[in-house]
Structures are given as structure tokens and as C-alpha cells.
Structure 1
Amino acid sequence: MKRLRQINFLLVVITLLLVNCTRSKIVNETDYDQLYAVWYDNDYKDSLAQALKPAVQRALTLSNTVDNRVSIDSVLNELRWTRDSVSFHKLSRKAIKYAKSKSDEYMLANAYNDIGMYYHDLNVMDSTFYYYIKAENVYKQVGDSMKIGEMEFYQARLLFEKGLHMESEVKVSNALHILKDYPLNPIPFEANQLMALCLLERNDYKEAKKYMLEALTLMQKDFKQNKVLDKPRLVLALSMLYLNLSEVSYLLKNYSEAINYAKVGLTYTNSDTPDVMIGVIKSY
């Protein structure tokens, strides 16, 4: 799923320059941009790079303190979406050096993950996978099962994109097994659907539908509570899921069910829903 996020550049810069005066460590939360494969056009990337210049220049001068590492991590987290390769690699090297010298494992893992995402955006898949593995290995060192599960999912998605569907299936199975112990993590919403896609590649439509229905159960459980996803993200995720369910029902030759799923999917569309998605749903 891809979406285009609008950012107020001035506020981004101000936030990054002043971030974390009191925070003492890297916040280790699910990265929603990574989860939903955010994509920006080149004009956006270049504008963001220009806006980030003051924050990047400041980050490159910071000493190796706890708060400064958080600031560097925050800047690198935004810089990964730009085409400023010189600044990105310079700051990522600094982040890795600082993290290693102070045994700051979460900063180190974040840096590796950011580099992996940077390469993913450039469609350099082997380098992406390499840095995702490095990030996961750091999480293994600190015993962070939730982050290990997340990295298994991102590797699974990458393998699927490379056409390695059986390998992807193994990875996504690992992710689902680990993350079942973390009911507030949103990745199982997408991981169940990725497993379904893997199964569709070998024409196991019935089993694929089971995983999509499991994703639907998880989303419906969260719909009134929004403890896992906020309402806008959840509504968009549901519209996409119903589209996928409609497709699977069609493959199973249950055409009336396919139409019904498509109709339900339309009830979750709004002004933020991509036109192409609405068009596909209406085609049923």
C-alpha cells in the first residue's frame, strides 16, 4: 500500500533542531512509514532535503551524548526519504560510529534500518536486505522479540518483491509467530495478507482466504478501540483488505461473495482513498 504524506517543512526543521531536550533514549516504536511503504516523488524528496539542511548541518556537529544521539537519529529518520546521498551517508556513518562507541544498540539498529530503507527506495534490493539483516541481528543481541518480528516481516516483504515467494512465506510465518505475543502491534494486519499473497502464488486460494479473514478479524477488533491503528489508517487498510478478499473470492469462483466484499470495501472509502483503488473496487 502506498500513500503520499504532506509535511510542513518549516515545522519539520524546527522539530528536528529542538527535539528531545528531555528524552534520554531512542523511542522504539513501529515505523508506520516503513510498514505502509510510503513513497514520495522526486520534487518532494528534493524539497525535503533542502528543508533539512540546517538540521543535518547541526546534527553533524553534535557530540556523542544521549540526547544528541536521539537528535541525530531523528534527523536521519527524515533524511532517508531524500535524494541527498552525501548527507545521508555522512550522517548514517556518524550515527553508527556514535552508537557503537556507546553501545547504544537501538540507535545502531535504527541506523541500519534507515540505510536499508534508503536503499529500498532506490530499488537496490540486495543492500536493503543486507541492512535489514544487520538491524535484526542487533535486536537479537538485546533480545527484543517484537522488533525481531517486525524485521522478519520487512525481509519477507522484500523477498516477495524479488519474486522469492517460498522464502518470503518462511519469513512472514516467523513474523506472525513472534508477533502473536504483541496484540497492539499493527504488523500482523499486513503480515497475514502477505502470507495470503504468498499462498496465492501457489494457487492455494482457500488457505490464502483464511489468512485474509484473520487480518479482517484483527482489524474489526480494533475498529472501535483504535488501540493498534488510528482511524484514518485503519479505514484505508480495511478498504484494501476487502478489495483483496473480493479478488480471492473471485479466484474461488464465488462471484456473489466477491461482489459483496467489494461493496463493503466501498463503505470504507473516503476522500483520502486513492482513486485507482475505488475504481478497482467498483469494477466488481
Structure 2
Amino acid sequence: MRGSFIVIFVFVLISGFAQDIDSVFLNKKSEIFLLKNDDDKVNALIKAGDEFIDQDGIKAEYFYNEASLLIEDKNSSNQARILHQKGRIYRARGDYSSALDAFLESEMIYKNNNDVERIAAVMVDIGIQYRYLRKPEKAISIFNKTIEFAKRNNDSANMGRSHNMLGGVYRVLRKYDSSFYFYNKAQSIFRYSKDSIKLNEVQSNMAMLYGRQKRYDKALEIHLGTLEFFKKLQNVNNVVTGYSNISFEYRMLGDYNNALKYADSSLQLAKENGLKRDVTNAYRSKSRIYKDLKNYQEAFKNHTFYKRYSDSNLIVKKEKEIRDIELRNQLEKEKQELQIVSEKKEIRANLYATLSIVILCFSIITALLIRRNYKERSQRIEDSLEKETLKKEILTQKIKASETELKNLIADNSMRLEFITRLTQQIKEDKDSAEDRNVKNYANRLLLKLQQQIVTENKLSLLQDKITEVNKNFDQNISNKFPNLTKTEREICSLLRLNLSIKEIASIRNSSTDSVKAVRYRIRKKMEVPKSQELEKYIQTL
């Protein structure tokens, strides 16, 4: 009675999967059929195949085959993608020679197109294929190469896949410490990239490792959790594997009823989807469970089915076929390499001929250019001499204009001195006649200020000869040394060179002391005079 219930349960589950998948499949076909452009159809067909590959390999292969018929360039990235995915389908069916052939051909096209990310992806699948062909050393070598390749190209996804697969190889080899190490590395990578599907796959693999260490309760807990995750995604391949793993753990715990239930679930779903390798595993699991139950008749019956589906003899028979595929792939690579070398030689010969012509033309052009440049250089020298003469004349005129401006300033100063002297005399006379003490005090203060101004003006009136003497050629020298100085800044430099105060310079230029201070600051900055050095002393050294 319990056995009937299990069969009904599995049938209902499979029917639910099948109805949903069939409905989506028909809708996809209708949508793609309506597309007019072949390129759009190819892309849509490949996308549809990718969506079905984990649910129904037969339907996925239909879409890939339809896309392949529309592709004209059989060395395109799309063709390589189709071969890659079909290799995965062949592997799930247990057709390992066809799978390896598809993977190797896909890898060659990816490399020719320099499709870096997909090169790494197909390398992982080739490594998995050698693992299934029971060649662990070759699989380990390929996974390690893939990790190095993925590192160089910042490809975390395929780096994580390679670590996960290495964990599986070392688990089969019973090197459990190494297996845990690579599984943990894979988990870290997929947690960081937030890839929940790959993370659950790694956790399922780690659970199998716990089972090999006889930690069955822990393994069962993880398997039940990952099974629910993959059921929600309708990921058939991982659901089938999950049923098989749970059956094993229940068997090890002595719960044979549950062990049989999950083995039957795995078997029915694997048969429905043509997963030959999983069908084989399911029959072997059932045979062992019945043997533990001492039901030798059922054990023998399931063992017979296991032998019928088993790849153990098939792998030996196909060794030559696999070697032929590898040899054909190697010959194709060498043929391509020879073709590349031949093309390079032809290109090199053409390049040498072209270079010879170019060098001859270049020599003729160079001779003509040298002759023309000689004439142009002679003309430029003549033009330069004329420009220098013109510059000197302009500079002389500027100096004369500066001297005229300075003379005008001195003349203005003399007039101010005369006016201040007369004003002082007038204030003295008015003060003497005034009777109010406040007026007299104010007049005294005013006279004191005027006297100070007279001293300054007298001092400035003596500047003409001194400026002419001291600043001879100074303006020209300072212009050459500091070409970014303005005319006003050069004039202030001339006055600072005479060690005049800011107030005196302001009086000469009839401007405010703040204005002179601002100009003085700009001069210091342009001349790059440090704050620790007096600007006047620096200017006097020029």
C-alpha cells in the first residue's frame, strides 16, 4: 500500500512538471515563429534553449537545433554557444563521447573569437567531462588551469565553478581535507557574488561529503533544504540529484522506506527527462536498499537494470572513440596554427615589399623637405633679425615714455610742494592773528602735518637725478627676467629699489597705501620671493 502511494506521489509530481513545461514550450515556439528577422530568431531560440536546459533537455535541444539551422557562419560565437549547451545535454544523457566532442569544438571557436568568459566556462565543462570519464588527474589539471585563466580575467563565476568541481574530484579520491578546502573557497566566491543557485549546488556537494564522513543527519538536513530550493526553480537536473542524495542518507540512517521513496522519485524523474546517468544511479541505489532489506529478488532485479544502463563497460569501449575525438581536435588546432603561421609569412613578405616602397618614397620626400626647410630657415633668420631690431626700437620708446611719465610725476610733486609751502605760510599768519586757543592748537597740529609732508615732498623732489642714475637699464633687465610683470609693477619695483616707503610711493603715484601694498604683494608672488626675505633687498640685488 505504501509503495503504491509513493508511485502515485512521484507520478503527480512529474505530471505537474511536464504540464507546466509543455505549456511554456508551446508558447515559446509560437512567439519565436512570429519573428521576421533571422538574427532575432537565432537569439530567441538560444535564449529559449537556455531556459529549458535545466528542466527538459529534449526541448532545449530542439531550440538549439532550430537555431543552428539558421546560422550561416558555423564559426560564430552563437554556434559555439549552441555546441557548448548541447554538450551539457549529451553529458546528462550519458553520451560522453558526443559531449566531449561538442565541448572541444565549442572551445576552439570561443578561442578563435577571443570570447574570454565563455572559454573559461567550457573549460570547466571539459574538466567535468573528464571527471565522468574517470580521469581525475586530467580533470584536476584542467580545473587548475581554468582557475588561473579566470583569475587573470576577473571571472569569479567560473573560478567558483572550478573550485566546486575540484572539491568533487577530491571527494571521490577520498581526500576529504582537500575537498572541504575547495568547497569552502567556492562557497565564499558565490556568497560574495550572491549567486544563490551555485551556492546551493556547493552546499549539496558539501552534504555529500558529510555523508562520506558518516555525518548523515547533517548531510540529510542540507539535502532537504537544497531540494526545496531547486523544486521552486523547477531545476530538474538538481532535483533528480537531490532525490538520489537524500535516498542515500536515509539508507545510511536505516530508514529504508524513505530511502526507497526518494530513490523512486529520482528514477521516475530521470527517466522522464532522459537522464541516463541518473537512471543508472537510481537503479543501483534501489538494488542496495533491497539488499539491506534482504529482499534479494528485488535487489537482483534492480541490479540487472543497473547493469543494463551502466556506463562501466561502455566507458571502456568508448576509450578509443574519446582518443579519436581528442586527436581530431588536436589536429584541427595544429591545422589552424599552421594556417596562421602561413598567413603571417605572407603578411610579412607583403609588409617588407611595402616598407621598401615606403622607405624609397620617404627618402625622396625627406630630401625635398630638407631643401625646402633650408630655404625656410634662412628666411626665418632674416625675419627674426628684423623682429629683434623692431623689439629693441619699441623697448627704447617704452623707456623714454617711462622717463617722461616719471618727469611729469616729479613736476607734479614740485607743484604740490610749492602749494603746501604757501599754505603753511598762510596758516602761520592766520594762527598768529587768531585769539581762540582751540583754533591755535588745531593750527599747530595742521602745521606739524604739513611740515612732515614738506619734508617728504622735498625728499621726492630730489628723486629725478637719483632715479635716472640708479635705474639705468633696470626696467629692461627686470622685463627680461620677469616677463609676467606689468608696467605698473615694474615702476613700483623701480621705486622700491630706491628704498622708498609705501607711503612715499603712494604719494609719488598719487594712490592709496592699500593699492601700493596690493601691487607689492603681487610682485613678491611673481618673483617667488620667500616671506623670510625683504622684497626691497631682493630687488636691489637684481
TM range (shorter): 0.5 to 0.7
Paired amino acid for 2:203: S
**Residue in 2 that maps onto 1:132:** 103
**Residue in 1 that maps onto 2:195:** 229
Paired amino acid for 2:180: M
Larger Rg: 2
| Alpha carbons 2:146, 2:162 under 8 Å: kept | yes
Q: Does 1:95 align with 2:61?
A: no
Residues 221-260 of structure 1: pairs in structure 2 closer than 5 A:
223=191, 225=192, 227-230=193-196, 233-234=198-199, 236-237=200-201, 239-240=203-204, 242-243=206-207, 246=210, 250=213
Q: Distance in 1 between the 2:75 and 2:171 partners? A: 41
Q: Distance in 2 between the 1:277 and 1:107 partners? A: 38
| Alpha carbons 1:109, 1:138 under 8 Å: kept | yes
**Residue in 1 that maps onto 2:48:** 75
C-alpha displacement of 1:72: 2.1
Q: Distance in 2 between the 1:76 and 1:127 partners? A: 18
Q: Distance in 2 between the 1:44 and 1:264 partners? A: 26
Q: Which whole-Å deviations, capped at 9, do the CAs of 1:82-123 have from their partners, x for residues lacking one? A: 3657x944x43442243334x782321222123223323322
Residues 142-161 of structure 1: pairs in structure 2 closer than 5 A:
142-161=113-132
Find 1:212's aligned residue among 180, 183, 188: 180
SS of 1:180's equivalent in the other structure is helix
Higher mean C-alpha displacement, 274-283 vs 45-54:
274-283
Q: Distance in 2 between the 1:241 and 1:176 partners? A: 19
Q: Distance in 1 between the 2:103 and 2:123 partners? A: 9
In structure 2, stretches of 5+ residues that fail to align are: 1-12, 230-241, 254-542
Specify whether residues 135 and 247 from structure 1 end up closer, same or farther in structure 2 by C-alpha distance, changes over 3 A only: same
Number of residue-to-residue matches in the alignment: 225
Paired amino acid for 1:110: R
Paired amino acid for 1:92: Y
Paired amino acid for 2:94: N
Specify whether residues 84 and 212 from structure 1 end up closer, same or farther in structure 2 by C-alpha distance, changes over 3 A only: closer
| Alpha carbons 1:115, 1:128 under 8 Å: kept | yes
| Alpha carbons 1:110, 1:135 under 8 Å: kept | yes
Specify whether residues 221 and 264 from structure 1 end up closer, same or farther in structure 2 by C-alpha distance, changes over 3 A only: farther
Residues 30-179 of structure 1: pairs in structure 2 closer than 5 A:
44-45=17-18, 47-60=20-33, 62-80=35-53, 81-82=55-56, 88-89=61-62, 91-101=63-73, 105-179=76-150
C-alpha displacement of 1:135: 1.7
C-alpha displacement of 1:47: 4.9
Q: Distance in 2 between the 1:88 and 1:269 partners? A: 30
Q: Distance in 2 between the 1:182 and 1:106 partners? A: 19
C-alpha displacement of 1:176: 2.0
Q: Which whole-Å deviations, capped at 9, do the CAs of 1:12-55 have from their partners, x for residues lacking one? A: xxxxxxxxxxxxxxxxxxxxxxxxxxxx9587357524531242
Specify whether residues 145 and 212 from structure 1 end up closer, same or farther in structure 2 by C-alpha distance, changes over 3 A only: farther
Specify whether residues 247 and 270 from structure 1 end up closer, same or farther in structure 2 by C-alpha distance, changes over 3 A only: closer
Higher mean C-alpha displacement, 141-150 vs 91-100:
91-100
Paired amino acid for 1:82: D
The TM-score normalised by the length of structure 1 is: 0.60
| Alpha carbons 2:127, 2:139 under 8 Å: kept | yes
In structure 1, stretches of 5+ residues that fail to align are: 1-39, 251-257
Report which of the two has the higher share of helix.
2
Specify whether residues 220 and 55 from structure 1 end up closer, same or farther in structure 2 by C-alpha distance, changes over 3 A only: closer
SS of 2:152's equivalent in the other structure is coil
Q: Distance in 2 between the 1:88 and 1:263 partners? A: 37
Q: Alignment identity in percent? A: 8
Q: Distance in 1 between the 2:52 and 2:203 partners? A: 31
SS of 2:195's equivalent in the other structure is coil
C-alpha displacement of 1:154: 0.9
| Alpha carbons 1:159, 1:165 under 8 Å: kept | yes
Q: Distance in 1 between the 2:167 and 2:49 partners? A: 34
Specify whether residues 247 and 121 from structure 1 end up closer, same or farther in structure 2 by C-alpha distance, changes over 3 A only: closer
SS of 1:56's equivalent in the other structure is helix
| Alpha carbons 1:149, 1:174 under 8 Å: kept | no
Specify whether residues 176 and 41 from structure 1 end up closer, same or farther in structure 2 by C-alpha distance, changes over 3 A only: farther
Q: Distance in 2 between the 1:174 and 1:42 partners? A: 43
